Structure 1
Amino acid sequence: MRLKIFRAARMPEAMAQLREELGADAVILSTRRTAQGIEITAALEPEEPWLIPPAGMAPPAVPSGPLAFHNPPATLAAALARGPLDQALAGALGFAPLPEGRDRPLMLVGPPGAGKTLTCAKLAARMVLAGAPPVVATTDGQRAGATAQLAAFTGVLGLTLAVAQSPAALGKALARRGPGQPALVDSAGCDPFDARQVVALHALAAVAQADLVLVLPAGLDPQEAADLARAFAALGARHLLPTRLDAARRLGAVLAAAEAGPLLLTEGGTSPEVVDGLEPLTPARLAARLAAAPRRGALVPAEEAAP
């Protein structure tokens, strides 16, 4: 979903901007009066990518070799097969360090259950151990146990958790940080295809002026992961932090999301442990994970499995 805000002195001017940029299919999500005039928030659903090649165009080659097990998009697999895997990954996808959260707060976004809260705790622990305790805020005050879980983590680290469910409350919480102090924001799970949830998340991100990091679990269907990456990239996400790399056997979703956003691969969740549970993702490290032999499930004898 592509989200856009239009501002003008009068409604007809704002509507003209909207129609010119997004076209007649745009959906108006909200309108409000401001000191300068009118503000319209509108959205446009992206067109679905074609699944059947046009007449005369050959379909992409089916991936083979170690990559075939991970089920990446066929066109990306073809690009990755053109050279050593680490070099091909560096050429096809983007990699970058995770922002430090000092100049702009680091806001973790993603669908429900992606691992944002645990990732926030891991990052907070790293910052505390490095001598830079962060301001930590959560906008997830409705999900059962979400606030309590993060409060337990931050309490152990000697940090105070700010619960900020509104843009105004989030702005006040982040305004308390000192010069150069990092800030982390754990957001509520968001369905990026639900207009109301998108507007709510966009309002929080706008107030925080944050760097948005998409937290996405490995092991998803690659096309689903690609759709989610495009939607969150439209909201402003520029970085991707995949979780559950220790548990997922297939990493095609990670590749598909990074390509579709496009999003910069930063770090990955490799353990449920709060300390040392994140690992920087580089082309060499990702190539090693992709090339490793698939883990096979262990068969437990019936007499051992019985209670």
Structure 2
Amino acid sequence: MRLRVFTAPRMAEAMAQLRAELGAEAVILSTRRVAGGVEVTAALEAEEPVLIPPCTAAPAPARAPGPLGFHNLPPGLASRLGAGRLEDALAGALGFAPLPGGCERPVMLVGPPGAGKTLTCAKIATRLVLGGAAPVVVTTDDQRAGAAAQLAAFTGVLGLTLAVAPSPAALGKAVARRAPGQPAILDSAGCDPFDARQAMALHALATAAQAELVLVLPAGLDAAEAADLARAFAALGARHMIPTRLDAARRLGAVLAAAEAGPLLLTEAGTGPSVAGGLEPLSPARLAARLSATPARGAATTPQEAA
């Protein structure tokens, strides 16, 4: 609809302007007296449809062919992994290493809230005890309700004393009390690495303990978000990574994207809630098998199949 306003000293002159410009099909919407004459508002219905063009947003990137396409990998990484044998491509594109033992330097588990750090700490401590060691176990988490009690429930069963050290000074003292060669595992509060205050607090704790930072990150995140987190924790000193919830996640793009972005060395993976056996070493061969098997293993079930 075209709207026009005509003004003239007299109504006849305003109407003449209206007909000359809009024609006889124009509809008068209103008339009123104004300073110097009259004002006529008229409209002309459009004879042609209004066409709205489609959105010009960039098309979504093409998915990688084969099983890798299921995992929502970053395009560049998908391209590299798609060239040649998957196990060899993984070994060339990503880093793999054993989990640090915590004897020379304490191992400090870091990551966003809810990543599974406390359970992972309990799993590592359990494995060390079953192997004949008596690790020092410390938590710096005095923020989450019940965090210390949760870990204390595990360490109590293992016959270990849990130290709660939320400040750099307390953490430094807790770590200094260990015997030569005694492993130390440190649990930490969930950290938003993009918050300067939280990042500085975590850095202060890690420095006081002279710890090796290991990022604990759940599988199943958005790949780009996981990559951002990996880069942020790598900037704080993390060099190794334990992905968790591999038993529940169907797509592993976040795990691979984070390992590449850090870059972070893949060590072990959380594969279940069992404290005695819920960690498995990660290798190119094991990861390749998982990446290849997931689409068939995790296929959607139809209502008819479930019946």
**Normalised by the size of structure 2, how large is the TM-score?**
0.77
SS at match of 1:241: strand
What is residue 273 of structure 1 aligned with on the other side? 274
1:1-307 equivalence runs, <5 A: 62-292=63-293, 293-296=296-299
Taking the aligned partners of 1:110 and 1:187, their CA distance within structure 2 comes to 8
Contact 1:61/1:78 (CA < 8 Å) preserved in 2?
Answer: no
Contact 2:91/2:284 (CA < 8 Å) preserved in 1?
Answer: yes
Taking the aligned partners of 1:299 and 1:160, their CA distance within structure 2 comes to 50
How far did residue 176 of structure 1 move? Answer: 1.1
What is residue 23 of structure 1 aligned with on the other side? none
SS at match of 1:108: strand
How far did residue 177 of structure 1 move? Answer: 0.6
User: Over aligned residues, Cα RMSD in angstroms?
Assistant: 2.0
How far did residue 298 of structure 1 move? Answer: 5.2
**Could you list the per-position Cα deviations for residues 17-41 of structure 1 after superposition, in whole angstroms to 9, with x for gaps in the alignment?**
xxxxxxxxxxxxxxxxxxxxxxxxx
Contact 2:63/2:72 (CA < 8 Å) preserved in 1?
Answer: no
Q: Which amino acid aligns with 1:213?
A: V
Instruction: Summarize the Cα distance change of 1:300–1:166 in structure 2 as closer, same or farther, 3 Å threshold.
Output: farther
Taking the aligned partners of 1:249 and 1:236, their CA distance within structure 2 comes to 29
How far did residue 62 of structure 1 move? Answer: 3.7
Identity %: 76
Taking the aligned partners of 2:64 and 2:188, their CA distance within structure 1 comes to 36
SS at match of 2:241: strand
User: Unpaired segments of 5 or more residues in structure 1?
Assistant: 1-51, 54-58
Contact 1:61/1:75 (CA < 8 Å) preserved in 2?
Answer: no
Contact 1:60/1:75 (CA < 8 Å) preserved in 2?
Answer: no
What is residue 32 of structure 1 aligned with on the other side? none
Q: Which amino acid aligns with 1:295?
A: G
What is residue 43 of structure 1 aligned with on the other side? none
How far did residue 190 of structure 1 move? Answer: 0.2
**Could you list the per-position Cα deviations for residues 160-218 of structure 1 after superposition, in whole angstroms to 9, with x for gaps in the alignment?**
00000000000111111111000000010000000000000000000110110000000
Taking the aligned partners of 1:142 and 1:215, their CA distance within structure 2 comes to 18
SS at match of 2:273: coil
How far did residue 60 of structure 1 move? Answer: 7.4
SS at match of 2:70: helix
Taking the aligned partners of 1:249 and 1:61, their CA distance within structure 2 comes to 20
Contact 2:219/2:243 (CA < 8 Å) preserved in 1?
Answer: yes
Contact 1:97/1:266 (CA < 8 Å) preserved in 2?
Answer: yes
SS at match of 2:80: helix
Taking the aligned partners of 1:116 and 1:296, their CA distance within structure 2 comes to 29
Taking the aligned partners of 1:133 and 1:251, their CA distance within structure 2 comes to 34
Contact 1:72/1:222 (CA < 8 Å) preserved in 2?
Answer: yes
What is residue 21 of structure 1 aligned with on the other side? none
User: Unpaired segments of 5 or more residues in structure 2?
Assistant: 1-56
Taking the aligned partners of 2:75 and 2:154, their CA distance within structure 1 comes to 41
Contact 1:135/1:184 (CA < 8 Å) preserved in 2?
Answer: yes
Instruction: Summarize the Cα distance change of 1:76–1:239 in structure 2 as closer, same or farther, 3 Å threshold.
Output: same
Contact 2:231/2:262 (CA < 8 Å) preserved in 1?
Answer: yes
Taking the aligned partners of 2:302 and 2:121, their CA distance within structure 1 comes to 35
Taking the aligned partners of 1:248 and 1:90, their CA distance within structure 2 comes to 22
How far did residue 78 of structure 1 move? Answer: 0.4
**Could you list the per-position Cα deviations for residues 257-300 of structure 1 after superposition, in whole angstroms to 9, with x for gaps in the alignment?**
00000000000001100001100000000000000024135568
